[in-house]
Amino acid sequence: VKSVISLLDSYIKWIALGQAPSSTLAVIPSPAFTWFSKGYKEAFVSGEQEPWLFRGGLTAELQRLLPLDSVSDLFLYKPPESPCSKNYSIRPYAPRDETLVYEICRKTCDDGMDGTQVFTDYPNLIGDKLVGSFLCLSNEYCFVVEDENGICGYALAALDAQQFSKKMEVAWKPELCLKYPAPCKEPSEMLTPAEEIMNSFHASQPTAIPEVVYKHHPSRVVISVLPSITDPSVSKRLLACVLAALKANGSHGVFSEVTVGDKNVLDFYSKLGFLEIALPDFLADEVFFLGRAF
């Protein structure tokens, strides 16, 4: 119950920011019977009905207040192997969080592990590549999770992935090209990982989103939590918050790009219900797409 109440609290805080149009909220499909159905409340509190009539009890009643009726797996939490008293809270992203979000990105960029040593000369480079565009162009769909030590994870999303890509080309990529000039090296010289990323900013053509991906998964998401966070419910709750926000604005599916070879990241998204999208005609050999409908 505590986890569901925390989710509701996060969702209400997001609504309070004015990001959910009332016209959209009014047409979101809801379960056949909820607390607001005629006569349901009276039947629930009267004590005259058998307990199993109300499936899931109070926890399920609270879950049904969220616009998520097809992601029940995100509400299934495995009990911890040892007692734990840590509390995690999820809230909408705020501009003051940017530095910490960049830091988490840096500490998880190497297939979920710390990549700080790879980018010692350019500490913000990987953050600019992976998360900066979301924080700048789509922060209304960004959430962070905190523990007693501060922010320990994030979930960032864009409602319309194609429109988001266009905005990146116009408003984000040029800034990166100015900030990170193309490396001046001979063709025979090897580029460092940082230089390869900087070089990619100056590439003429971005990776296009395959139409089959966009059709069924129009929104894009990136999720990351620190390796020290071993509670699997944290990432599930993060994703649930993002999906609720996207669903409230009309989306029905999300995808994430995963670099080929990132086995830990693949396993992370797989545990969140993402599946690889088959793309026989997609020629990119560096990334593949994982999707989830809701």
Which CATH number goes with the domain that contains 288?
A: 3.40.630.30
For residue 242, the model assigns a pLDDT of 96
Give the predicted TM-score (pTM) of the model: 0.85
Q: Is the pLDDT of residue 140 over 90?
A: yes
pLDDT bracket for residue 24 (50, 70, 90): very low
Query: Which residues have a Cβ under 8 Å from the Cβ of 65 and sit 6 or more positions away?
Result: 8, 34, 35
Asked whether residue 236 is assigned to any structural domain, the reply reads yes
Residue tagged 């409908």 (tokens):
293
What are 165-202's pLDDT values in tens digits? 999 999 999 999 999 999 888 878 898 999 999 999 99
* Host domain of residue 243: 2-30+67-293
Tell me the C-alpha distance between 118 and 273, whole Å: 31
Split into its structural domains, the chain has a count of 1
Asked whether residue 42 is assigned to any structural domain, the reply reads no
**Amino acid making up residue 160:** D
pLDDT bracket for residue 53 (50, 70, 90): low
Asked whether residue 284 is assigned to any structural domain, the reply reads yes
For residue 43, the model assigns a pLDDT of 66
Strand arrangement, sheet containing 253-259:
89-92, 142-147, 150-158, 219-225, 253-259, 287-293, 275-276
pLDDT bracket for residue 86 (50, 70, 90): confident
Asked whether residue 90 is assigned to any structural domain, the reply reads yes
Taking a C-beta distance cutoff of 8 angstroms, is the pair 125, 197 a contact?
yes
What are 193-247's pLDDT values in tens digits? 999 999 999 986 777 899 999 999 999 999 999 999 988 899 999 999 999 999 9
Say which residue, 66 or 250, is predicted with more confidence.
250
Asked whether residue 58 is assigned to any structural domain, the reply reads no
Asked whether residue 26 is assigned to any structural domain, the reply reads yes
Asked whether residue 60 is assigned to any structural domain, the reply reads no
Instruction: Report the chain's mean pLDDT, rounded to a whole number.
Output: 86
Asked whether residue 44 is assigned to any structural domain, the reply reads no
